[in-house]
Chains A and B, each alone.
Chain A
């Protein structure tokens, strides 16, 4: 049996707004094996993105534990968590989140600035990542000079350039037309099958979800 890379043990999350406590996730128990391609689905407000944020270590659970690999990430300090994210997580956002003043190359290079790689090594890594997503000829282009699909592929290159253990994608096709969405999904599938990346993807899109090995549904903060 493949060991679980991600374990959520009785995870709950609620937000306080004024005097109200708004529960978002309730007692989530989830195991994601290494090499899995999981699609998290569910209606708006069901807590999909919150769950993804907890796994990414950019939010903390109100109760329960989030364990990635052997590390209980909710116990880490902010700075340790930042360091952990830079080593283990690749994040793909719905709206790409590229730096508009940086070229595609520079955007992909960003996470590598936190490593001890030399400039030459960084260059090689960025070129490899951009060639994986088929944008080696767009390295000097700025985000405004790219289509939405190309921007998302640059964002995927950025997510994989550090060779992370886990790629988390939040509605990666949510802002794309049908063809671009298909291209992005093919790419994510390749990352999973060829490069053996564990992927957890939040999506509304049933076509995107079809590419995943496993689909899980969230409703009102509970896995159903």
Chain B
């Protein structure tokens, strides 16, 4: 049950980031692939689409902290107004102001800051993997997620700093393009219409776009790991299957050993309902005791695992659905394991059962 809980939590955490995304944000990217640019000039056109409230943009940077791949974390550059679109990020107002004032400032999520022991005001150097050179920032703000599942493992820095530096050092890489646009819309119900309208604007252009809700965009990203996730789901259910087999075997053995006891109870006048209650009760007691123990152990085990995995997953904690699923499986396992012994005990002819004595 502990293994089931850990795997379920891992899967839930994997999707947690997508689950908390609001429905009123769209992402517009290059229709061919996210790795291709979308022209910066599209911003004004997107802003004019009816129903669009505001637009900002981001671009994957992919720098390494201390030039060590083990220190990987998502980092990207963001355009003006980007952080305003993310109401789920909570900042200290003065830190936010400082970020907006200082060109080489950066913001980081709380978990990321905790991971490296960063404090506001600390210098941070990233080594560019796509954009060459050492990139120096000053951490000016640390944000927290409004709810569990909100990503707190990213670092963002200002687009103007990024763009200016590219133009100075590697002008061939400054392409007046961005990785993606984030589009805030007034009415989430209009998301399909607005998406279609945005994409229609750039139909037959050199950079056609694909617009979808940020949640779909994120899930599409996560889908790259779909085979592994499906595998993990199968393993989690196999674990339940193994538990079921173990308990079925235990109960079957118990029933075999107790044939004479069942026969005695029948001789004394205990009817089928008594036997069903007795066997079901025993099976449920074993299943519930084991299940509850497993559920209780989930918390410290997942708590310990989250120390290692919090850098990769937001909200790595046991959720109510996992507990509900585990308890449902406990009930199913308890009932299923009792079926064969119940059948055997109820159908048992008394004289046959009594022959097993002595």
Contact = CB atoms under 8 A, between A and B. Distances in A.
A99 B264 contact: yes
A143 B331 CA distance: 34
B267 A79 contact: no
B271 A83 contact: yes
B101 to A, nearest CB: 77
Interface string A72-88: 00000011001111110
A193 B350 CA distance: 31
A11 to B, nearest CB: 16
Contacts of A175: 358
Contacts, number: 53
A93 B263 CA distance: 12
A53 B351 contact: yes
B357 A95 contact: yes
B86 interface: no
A78 B270 CA distance: 11
Contacts of A79: 271-272
Nearest to B349: A59
A167 interface: no
B267 A83 contact: no
Nearest to B273: A79
Contact of A93 (B261, B269, B270, B357): B357
Interface in A157-176: 158, 175
Contacts of A87: 269
Interface in A24-75: 53, 56, 58-59
A114 B266 CA distance: 11
B207 interface: no
Given A53-B351, A59-B350, A97-B264, A86 B269 contact: yes
B271 A97 contact: no
Interface in A80-138: 82-87, 91, 93-95, 97, 99, 110-111, 114
Size bracket, chain B contacts: 10 to 19
Contacts of B264: 97, 99
B242 interface: no
B260 interface: yes
Interface in B247-292: 260-261, 264-272, 274
B239 interface: no
Nearest to A88: B269
Contacts of B358: 94-95, 175
Contacts of A83: 269, 271
B87 to A, nearest CB: 62
Nearest to B350: A58
Interface string B337-351: 000000000000111
A82 B266 contact: yes
Top 8 nearest A-B pairs (CB, nearest first) are: A86-B269, A95-B358, A58-B350, A85-B269, A95-B357, A82-B271, A97-B264, A82-B269
Interface of A: 53, 56, 58-59, 78-79, 82-87, 91, 93-95, 97, 99, 110-111, 114, 158, 175
16 contacts: A53-B351, A58-B267, A59-B349, A59-B351, A78-B271, A82-B266, A82-B269, A83-B269, A85-B269, A87-B269, A93-B354, A95-B358, A97-B260, A99-B261, A114-B269, A158-B268
